[in-house]
Structure 1
Amino acid sequence: MSGYDDNPFAEPVSVNPFNDPSVTQVTNSSIEPVDQYNPFPQSNDGLAIHTTPAVLRTQQPSTSPAVLQPSSDPSPQASAARAQADLLRQQEELERKAAELDRREQELQSRGSTGKENNWPPLPKSFPIKPCFYQDFSEEIPVEYQRVCKMTYYLWMFNCVTLFLNLLACMAHFITDSKYGVDFGLSILWLILFSPCSFICWYRPVYNAFKTDSSFSFFTFFFVFFCQVVVFIIQSVGLPNWGNSGWIAAISIIGSNKAVGGIMIIVSILFTLCAAVSIILLKMVHSMYRHTGASFQKAQQEFSQGVFTNKTFQSAATGAASSAAQGAFQGNN
């Protein structure tokens, strides 16, 4: 009933929140507030709760079930497959290297002894036959010999054209009279035989002679080219049944067939020009040879050195010596 005795019209009593007993106890205490906090409260029996060290916990056996880890060792099938793949890769690498070596060997063989790629005859790269020689006047021939060397080369080409026209003239002569079939057959033979042989036997020797100042090449050229001059003279004369459209054959046919006779006269003039130019070139090369210091003794030395250093000659000499030694040994026994 005390609540009803209060005067409702009395002034309200001011309430101080700091007069609360719990607040005044903390503020009046001499202990720091942090020190009053105990993270390990005592149990009901007054004993502190002890924690198990982490080291001891790791030593306790685990009750979780063991999980089997997959083995990292490859299976025999995987090892065999890997080994087979390695062998195939090595085989492909060896085949690639072998193909590269074959290509380089063919390239070196095509370059020849000069170490440069052959450029004569000038054939297209797609052609199955490759060039056989390397030829460069400005690089390999001295300046004072280039003019004569080029004239020799032009004479060889002029001779090939003349032999081809000689074949056409003999064929026309054979068409008009079948008894001249021998001349037509021989004209084919002269074109096939003299064109490559003249290049190898007298043009290349004079080219090598001017390039290396070789006495042996000079003497080879003089001997073969002198025979070539004789052949040019015989071809220009035009003996019957020799396969040449020379002056004699042309004059004998011009009365019966002027067209064929005119063609043969043109060929006779070309053969005569070949003979005249060849005589002039022979004298020019000989005069240059006398100023080069070449001699017959040097030619003999070059020939002997070339023969004894030739692998074919060395193998033949070794075989002959071994055969002779075996024969002598068997005869003594």
Structure 2
Amino acid sequence: MSLNQNPFSDPFADPSVRAAAAPSASANVNEDFNPFAQRNQSTQPAPTHQPALSGGATSAVHGDELFRRQEELERKAQELRRKEEELERRQRGTAPTGGATNGGAAPAAGGKPHNWPPLPAIIPIEPCFYQDIEVEIPVQFQKTVTIVYYVFLTYVLALFINVFASLFYALFGGGSIGVFFLAIIQFILFAPCSFLFWFRPVYKAFRNDSSFNFMVFFFVLFFHSIFTLVQTLGISQYACGWANALETFSKSVPVALLMLVCAVAFSVAFAGMVFALLKVHRLYRGAGFSIDKARQEFTNGVMNDRNVQAAAGVAARGAAGAAFQQAASGRF
């Protein structure tokens, strides 16, 4: 609208005003437009998805289980490494770098504390040997050595029962008192000798791969099994076996039953000895051992012993001195 136009004229007469007021121009305007809606929508925080409580608890339980299993595997791995290190030290013959002995027991040849026999602390006697089948014996022979050890324990148990059976046999079964004293002597003598002369050799044979110790085991256990058969039969006064136990039923049934228990124990020990002989012999033949190898090991072992070397040196010097004196006396 120009300046010289009449101010009292109709304002809608202006073409520009009519164009602005036309419906086509106002159609593009959003009547429902809310200028605060976008602001409220932008300021509202986005929803977050929280895990359910049950799911979180389950995850925690699984995590604790995995952690416990991992600790158990690590503990087993450490135990396995410890046994392997002890076995290597034993094979090399070196002492461990540290560690205290158990109960003040004297250390073994490889620096390990003696642990056999497992005597209680109230007895003022220390163990004499170190023995650990799981550490010193190869894995493929551990079961065999364990069986032989149980055979030895069964025989010791039979000797122990024989002491009480012989006592009651002498008192109430018509037996002589000498049977009881003989049972005590057998328990005191045969229990340690069985360990020293046939179990300990087979233990060292599998530990050191020694053919000589195998021979000692076969020789001693063969004759010991024959004597155990005599004890089992009970045909003499050496032990309470099947024969004298059956005879005692006519005099005292309780004593006869106790003697039968002793006879069963000797029978199990005898069967175990025969089984141990056969099983060890099968492994012995399969490993390629022989009498010549045992003889060679014995010779090398005797000649390498310091006491034998010292005795041989003294004998050689004495023989040389005697020969020199004889030659000198013959010259003059």
TM-score, normalised via structure 2 length: 0.64
3-state secondary structure, aligned to 1:113: coil
- Aligned in 2, Cα 1:108/1:160: closer, same or farther, shift over 3 Å? closer
Between the aligned partners of 1:111 and 1:121, the Cα distance in structure 2 is: 14
For the 8 Å contact 1:160–1:195, the answer to whether it is kept is yes
CA offset digits 1:53-96 (Å, max 9, x no partner)? xxxxxxxxxxxxxxxxxxxxxxxxxxxxxxxxxxxxxxxxxxxx
Q: Tell me the CA shift for residue 126 of structure 1.
A: 6.4
Matched with 1:311 is 306
Equivalences, count: 227
Between the aligned partners of 1:175 and 1:109, the Cα distance in structure 2 is: 42
Between the aligned partners of 2:240 and 2:190, the Cα distance in structure 1 is: 16
Q: Tell me the CA shift for residue 297 of structure 1.
A: 1.7
Between the aligned partners of 2:235 and 2:321, the Cα distance in structure 1 is: 56
Q: Tell me the CA shift for residue 287 of structure 1.
A: 0.9
Between the aligned partners of 2:292 and 2:303, the Cα distance in structure 1 is: 17
Between the aligned partners of 2:105 and 2:268, the Cα distance in structure 1 is: 39
For the 8 Å contact 1:206–1:217, the answer to whether it is kept is yes
Q: Let me know the Cα RMSD of the aligned residues.
A: 2.2
Q: Does 2:268 match 1:273?
A: yes
Amino acid of the structure 1 residue aligned with 2:302 = V
Q: Tell me the CA shift for residue 278 of structure 1.
A: 1.2
Q: Tell me the CA shift for residue 280 of structure 1.
A: 1.2
Matched with 2:197 is 201
What stretches of structure 1 of length at least 5 have no aligned partner?
1-103
Q: Tell me the CA shift for residue 162 of structure 1.
A: 0.7
Between the aligned partners of 1:159 and 1:215, the Cα distance in structure 2 is: 25
Matched with 2:182 is 186
Q: Tell me the CA shift for residue 125 of structure 1.
A: 5.4
CA offset digits 1:266-285 (Å, max 9, x no partner)? 11111111111211111111
Q: Does 2:178 match 1:161?
A: no
Matched with 1:113 is 109
Q: Which runs of 4+ in 1 moved over 6 A?
A: none
For the 8 Å contact 2:235–2:243, the answer to whether it is kept is yes
For the 8 Å contact 1:153–1:203, the answer to whether it is kept is yes
Between the aligned partners of 2:122 and 2:262, the Cα distance in structure 1 is: 35
TM-score, normalised via structure 1 length: 0.64
CA offset digits 1:203-226 (Å, max 9, x no partner)? 011111111111111111111111
- Aligned in 2, Cα 1:147/1:179: closer, same or farther, shift over 3 Å? closer
1:250 pairs, out of 245, 250, 270, with 245
Between the aligned partners of 1:239 and 1:322, the Cα distance in structure 2 is: 56
Between the aligned partners of 2:159 and 2:170, the Cα distance in structure 1 is: 16
For the 8 Å contact 2:105–2:114, the answer to whether it is kept is no
Q: Tell me the CA shift for residue 232 of structure 1.
A: 1.4
- Aligned in 2, Cα 1:246/1:228: closer, same or farther, shift over 3 Å? same
3-state secondary structure, aligned to 1:112: coil
- Aligned in 2, Cα 1:108/1:208: closer, same or farther, shift over 3 Å? farther
Between the aligned partners of 1:314 and 1:270, the Cα distance in structure 2 is: 46
